[in-house]
Amino acid sequence: MPTAVLTVLLINNQKKIRMKKFLAIIAITGFVACNNASESETPATDTTTKVEAPAAADTTMTAPADTTKAADTTKPAM
């Protein structure tokens, strides 16, 4: 075989090996990253302060009817 053909085959083989190594490292890194994300040694604590809102006004009751008579202002006072 000519040397040019052997050189091309050798370069192509090295590229394939390099790509396989790269893909293997990426796959292992992805697996480790996903696996570590689900584990937690200490539970998360809530550091926010809770402020209670004032109670809403009760709007279900109706106002009682006005039973007082309005003052008559058309007559002069005595």
Per-residue pLDDT tens over the stretch 7-55? 778 788 888 889 999 999 999 998 888 877 655 566 667 677 777 777 7
pLDDT of 62 > 80? The answer is: no
CA distance 60 to 58: 6
pTM of structure? 0.38
User: First-to-last CA distance in the chain?
Assistant: 136
